[in-house]
Structure 1
Amino acid sequence: MLGCASVRLGQVAIIVQGLFEKSDSIGYDAVFEYKILKKALGESSVRIFAEKFDQSRYPDVKITSIEDFYSEMDSFDVVVYHFCDGWNAFDQFVAERKFKGRAIVRWHNNTPPWFYAPYDVKLAERCVRGFENIRRLAQVEGVEFWVNSQFTARQLVALGGQHEDITVVYPGSRYATRDVPLRVKKQHGDEFRMLFVGRVVAHKGHLHCIALAEKVSQEIGRPVRLDFVGRKDASAGGFNATLEQRQKSVASGVTVNFSGEVTEEDLNNYYNNADVFVCLSEHEGFGLPVFEAMLCGVPVVACTRTAMTELLSWHPLTIPEMDTNVLAKRVASVLDPKTEASIVETQLEIAKQYTLDLISRQMMAGLQGQAGPLLDVPAPLEGREVAKPTFERDALFDFGENYVTTYDIAALRAALEADGNLSERLQSSYASSPLSYVELSPKDFQTIGGTHTPAGIQFPLTKAGGHAVFGPYVRIPNGDYEATFLFKTSTEASNVSASVDIVADGGKVLVARRIKLNEAAVLMKFSIRAEAEIIEFRVRQEDNLVVPVVFTGLRLARDGQIAQLVAPSYYMDVRPNGGLLYSLGFGKRARHNKAREFFKQADSERDSDNYCEAAKLYRKGLELNPMAKAYWVQLGNMLKDTRRPIAAIEAYDRAASLSAPDADLLLQMSMAYEDMGDLESSASCRRASLEQKGQGQSQ
C-alpha cells in the first residue's frame, strides 16, 4: 500500500496477455518496465510472462509462458499485471487473490463505450465489460494500481478506486530512452502538411481532423495534405466504413492519406515532413504521440481534454473545446516562422522532462509505497476564448472530460441486456425435441482481415493476423450442444488449414479442432455446465488461400431442448425449414394458447404501469404467435413509453407489415419518430394519420 514507508521488493513478475503485435502500446510498456526493473533490481529478480507471444518481436527479452507463472506464482513477492480489456480469466485470477504477493494492476485507461455504440454494439459491450472488470478489481482489498496519468487516476476514483492505492507511472516510449534529433523540415512547394499518429478508432478524432483540414485549406488558401499514421482496427467495420465514406467526400484541395502501421524510419520521415501535428482525440489516457511530436520539434495544435488537459492547457495553440474556426487559425499561425520557432522551443521545455529517469523514479516510488514525481507543466493559460462548436450539425463529438461513472456502467449494461441484445438472444423454448437448431448469421460475427459480403464473411486470400471469424459472445444455458460451422468453399482449398475453437467466457477453450477449409460443414460438440455462460466461436486461418472461402453461418443445437433464437428486431422470424417452433410439431393451438397467457400477463403489467415487464411478456407471446398485429402495436407502445423509440419503430413496422397501418398506429409511429429526433418521418406519419381519419369521417 502507498502509505507504507518502505516495502521489501524481492521477486517481481510482470504479466501481459500478448507480446506479438507490431504496434502494441501495452506490450511495449510491459517490456519497457521489465527492462527498468531488471536494471534496478538485478537480472534474476524480474521475469516477464505472457499468454501469447512472439519471441522474435522482442529478441532481447526472455519471455515465459503464463502457464509457468501459475506453477511458480507463490515464489513472487510482487505481481505487476498489465490490464488488457478482454482477458477475463486473469482479471478473475487477480480479483480472487490466488497468489501471495502484492498485486499491482497497470492500467492505461479504457475507451468509453459510447464512442463505439453508433458503429458496433458488440465493441461497445466489450468496453462495458472492460470497465466492469476494472471496477471489480478496484473493489478488491489490497490491489494497487499504476495508472498512466492524473486523468486516469481520477477516472479510477470515479469507479471506486482509492487515492492511496493509485500511483501515476507514465507509459514507456523509445523517445524517452534517447536524445531525439529535431526535425529537418522539408519543403513541399505550396502544399501544407498536417499529421496525426494513433490507432484508427472512433475516439481518436480522425473525422474531426478531416473537417479541420478542409477549414485550414480555406483559411490559408493552399492545398492541404492530412496524413494519418496508425493501424486500423479491422473489427471496427462500422466506423471504418464511415471514415472511408468521409474520405471520398473530402473537399477539393485536401488530400487525406491513411498509411497504416509504418517503420520507425518512416515515422521519423512523417514527423520531418509535417508542418503541424493535430490531435483532436476525444479520449486520451496519456497522449504519447503528442510527446513524440513535441520532441521532434513539430508544432502541436490540439483540443485539451481528458489527459491532454494536464499536458497542454498552457499551450498557446490549444483550445479546450472542438471549434474548427479557432483551430484553423491556430494551425495557420505556424506559417509565421517566429511563431513556429517560439512554439517549438516552449514545447521542448516540457517534452524533454519525459525521460527514462523520470519513469524509473515513478516506478520505484510506486514499489516503495510512495507518490512519484510528475511533469512540471505551466499553469493553464488565462483569458482564453470560450469556443462554440462549429462542426456539421450531425457530427458526433463528445463534451467534457469523458469520465465513465458507475451510473454509466449500470445504464449501459441495462441497455445492452435489454431485449434485442445478442448476448441474450438464446433462450429455452417450450418445445422438447432432440437437436433442433437455430442459425447464427455471419452478420452476428466479427472478422480480422476478412470481409463482410452478402454471402457471408470472406476469408483473406493472404493469411490474416487474427481470427477470420470470431463472436458473437452469446449467453446460453447449461447443457450439451452441437455447433456446425458452415462454409462456402471448394475442393481446391484442401491444402489450406484452419483452427476452429469454441471458447467460454474468460478464454477457456471448450473444444478445438484443426480442419481443412474445403469442408462445407464442421460439426463440434461441447458442453456447458455453468448457467448462462458466454460463448465465442472462432475460426483462425492458418495458410494463404488459393481460392475464396466464405463463412456462411453457424447452426447451434442443444440436446433435448432447442436453443431458441430471438431476433434482434424484437420479433420471431419463424421459418418452416429453420428447425424452429413450427417444425417441431409444437401445434398451432398449443402455441396460441401459450401466447394468450403471455398477452394476458402483459396486459396486467401494462395496466399496473410496469411497462418494461409488459414489453418482455408481449415479446414472449409474439414469439409464439407472430401474426398477432394488435400486440405488436402494444409492444411498440411499451417500448416507446420506456424511451426506446428505435425498438418501438421496429415493432410498429412489424405490425404495419401484417396489414395496412390505421390512423392510430400511424400516430404512435409519429410520436416514436419524434422521440428519435426524426422530425421529417414524424411529420409524414402524422399527415398520413390525419388523412386516414379524414377519410374515415367522410365515409
Structure 2
Amino acid sequence: MKSIVITLPSLSSGDAIGNDVISEYNLLKSNGFEVFIFAEHYEPQFAQYLCDFDTAKNSEVLIYHHGILWDKGETLLKDHRGKFRIMRYHNITPPDFFRAYNDELTDLVDKGRKQTLRLIKYFSYFIPASFYNAQELLNYKVPKELIEVIAPFNHVDELLSIQADIVTLDKLIGQHRPIVLFVGRKVPNKGLLHFVRTAKKYVDLFGKKVYFIWVGREDLRLGKYYDMINRYINDNSISDVVLFPGKVSISELKSYYLSANVFLILSEHEGFCVPILEAQSLGVPIIALNRAAVGETLGKNQLLFDEIDYERFAAAIEVLLNNNEYCIELSKYGKENYNTRFKNSLIKEKFLNTITGVLRI
C-alpha cells in the first residue's frame, strides 16, 4: 500500500480541521495504508500520529489541508518527491471581515487566499468541503473533473453517545428561560454583531424572556472587536440577556444543545458549518442566514433568510418559541439532512472511494 502523509499547520483538540485530519488518519490506517500526519504545531497527545518533514517530503501521497497561510506547507509541496498531492480545501476567510479590527489577522488571511492561487499548480486532485468551496476552485481555473466535494468528518457520533454534563444542564434548565444558541469562534465573519443586534431587537419587541448564548472561544488579537461588541451590549442594557460561556468541553456542549430552543446562525462566511450538523442531529430547530456554505449545509425545508433583517430574525425566534408543531417539523427535516448527507459512515465511504480512485489514476 502507498504511504500517505496528511498535512496541516496546527493539530489541536476541538478544531474542525484537526478532527477531519484525525478521522482521515484512522480511516486510512484501518484500511491498510501506511499513514502519518505532518503538523508544524501540535498538542502533545497527538505526537503518536506525527512524522518529520523528511518523511512527509518522501511520502508517495500528500493530503494537504488548506485553510490558512502556511509557509512551511508551501515549502513541503515544492520539495515533495511523491506522485500524488491532494488538496483538502476548507476555504479561508476574506480579509475584509478583519480589516477594521486587526492588521495581523487581515494580513494573514489575505496572504492565505493569495497562497491558494500559488498552491493549485502542485495538486493533481482537489477535495473541497462544500460546493461553495468547489466554486472558488473553479473560479481559480481548477478543472471540474479534478474536484470531488466531500464534507469534513465531524464528531456528531461522539456528541450523540456522550453523557451531557449534568451540572451545566441543570443550571441551564433551572433558569426557566428559552435559549437561543450559537456555537463557534467569536470572530467577525461568524456574525457575532448580527447575533447581539438580533438579541436587542428581540428584547425591544418581546421583552427579556430569552437568553442568547454564544458558545466558543475568543481570539486575543480581536480585542478591538470585542470592545465594540461589549459596548453595544452595555449601551443597550442586554448584558443580562446575551451570555458568553467561552470554550466548553464536549459534554458541556451537549448540555447547551439539549437546553436550546433555537439555533441561530447569522454567519456571513463559512466554508462548511459543522455546528449545523450538531444542532440538527440533536433536534434543535435552526434559523439561518443564507451566506457562503450555510444554505447548502443546512439542507431542504429549513428556516433560511436571504437578507439581514433583525426584526424578522427576532419574529422568527418568537414564532418557534410558540409553535411546537413547526419546531417538530424543522427538527424532523434537520435530522433527515444529517442522517442522509453527513453521517460519518457516509463520509467514510465517499472519502475512501475517492482516495483509492485517485491513487489508481
Pairwise same-fold verdict (TM > 0.5): yes
Q: What is the match of residue 123 of structure 1? A: 105
CA contact (8 A) 2:276 2:297 kept: no
Match of 1:616 in 2: none
Tell me the residue number matched to 1:496: none
Larger deviation, residues 174-183 vs 335-344: 174-183
1:151 corresponds to which letter in structure 2?
Y
Look up the SS of the partner of 2:101 in the other structure: coil
Post-superposition Cα deviations, 1:612-671, rounded to whole Å, max 9, x if no partner, equal xxxxxxxxxxxxxxxxxxxxxxxxxxxxxxxxxxxxxxxxxxxxxxxxxxxxxxxxxxxx
Structure 2: runs of 5+ lacking an equivalent: none
Contact 1:182/1:297 (<8 A) preserved = no
Change (3 A) 1:25 1:178: closer
Task: Provide the TM-score with structure 2 as the length reference.
Answer: 0.89
| Contact 1:304-1:313 within 8 A present in 2 as well | no
Question: Partner of 1:149 in structure 2?
Answer: 130
1:346 Cα deviation after fit: 1.6
What letter matches 2:289 in structure 1? C
Q: 3-state DSSP class of the match of 1:51?
A: strand
Give 1:316 deviation, angstroms. Answer: 4.1
- Match in the other structure for 2:9: 17
Question: For 1:93, which of 76, 81, 84 is the aligned residue?
Answer: 76
Distance in 2 between residues matched to 1:279 and 1:292, nearest whole Å: 13
1:82 equivalenced with 2:65 (yes/no) = yes
1:339 partnered with 2:330? no
Q: Name the counterpart of 1:271.
A: 257
Taking the aligned partners of 1:345 and 1:177, their CA distance within structure 2 comes to 21
SS at match of 1:350: helix
Q: CA deviation at 1:141?
A: 5.5
More contact order relative to length (CA 8 Å, sep ≥ 6) = 2
| Paired residue type of 1:167 | E
Instruction: Look up the equivalent residue of 2:312 and give its one-letter code.
Output: V
Give the corresponding residue for 1:41: 32
2:347 aligned residue (359, 375, 381) = 359
- Alignment check: 8 A CA contact 1:11 1:78 kept: yes
Contact 2:138 2:144 in 1 (8 A): yes
Q: What residue in structure 1 maps to residue 211 of structure 2?
A: 225
Identity across matched positions, percent = 28
CA apart distance, 1:190: 5.5
In proportion to residue count, which structure has more helix?
2
Q: What is the deviation of 1:311?
A: 2.7
How many residue pairs are counted as aligned between the two chains? 351
Shift in Å, 1:173: 1.4
Q: Which of 282, 285, 290 is equivalent to 2:276?
A: 290
**Separation in structure 1 between the aligned mates of residue 51 and residue 227 of structure 2, nearest angstrom:** 38
Q: CA deviation at 1:295?
A: 0.7
Question: Is the CA contact 1:224–1:253 (under 8 Å) kept in the aligned structure 2?
Answer: no
**One-letter code aligned to 1:15:** T
**Contact 1:157/1:163 (<8 A) preserved:** yes
Change over 3 Å in CA distance of 1:218–1:244 after alignment to 2 = closer
Give the superposition deviation at 1:237. 2.6
Superposed displacement of residue 39, structure 1:
1.4
Q: Which amino acid aligns with 2:191?
A: G
Q: Shift of the alpha carbon at 1:253?
A: 8.4
Compared CA separation, residues 226 and 83, structure 1 to 2 (3 A): same
Q: Deviations over 1:166-188 (max 9, x none)?
A: 22121121114675599999755
Q: What whole-Å deviation, never above 9, does each CA across 1:138-171 have from its counterpart, x for those lacking one?
A: 2x15432221101111012223322222221211
Question: How many angstroms does 1:244 deviate by?
Answer: 2.3
- Structure 2: how far apart are the matches of 1:289 and 1:144? 27
Q: Closer, same or farther in 2 for the Cα pair 1:345/1:52, shift >3 Å?
A: same
Decide whether the 8 Å contact of 1:12 with 1:46 is kept in 2: yes
Change (3 A) 1:200 1:178: closer
Q: Deviations over 1:485-543 (max 9, x none)?
A: xxxxxxxxxxxxxxxxxxxxxxxxxxxxxxxxxxxxxxxxxxxxxxxxxxxxxxxxxxx
Match of 1:204 in 2: 190
Gaps of 5+ in 1: 1-8, 371-699
Q: CA separation in 2, counterparts of 1:338 and 1:84?
A: 40
- State the structure with more CA Rg: 1
Q: Is the 8 Å Cα contact of residues 60 and 81 (structure 2) preserved in structure 1? A: no
RMSD of aligned residue pairs (Cα, Å): 2.5
Kept in 1: contact 2:214–2:245 (CA 8 A): yes
Separation of aligned partners in 1, 2:216 and 2:90? 18
Corresponding residue of 2:223 = 237
Q: Could you tell me the TM-score, scaled by structure 1's length?
A: 0.47
Shift in Å at residue 101 of structure 1? 2.6
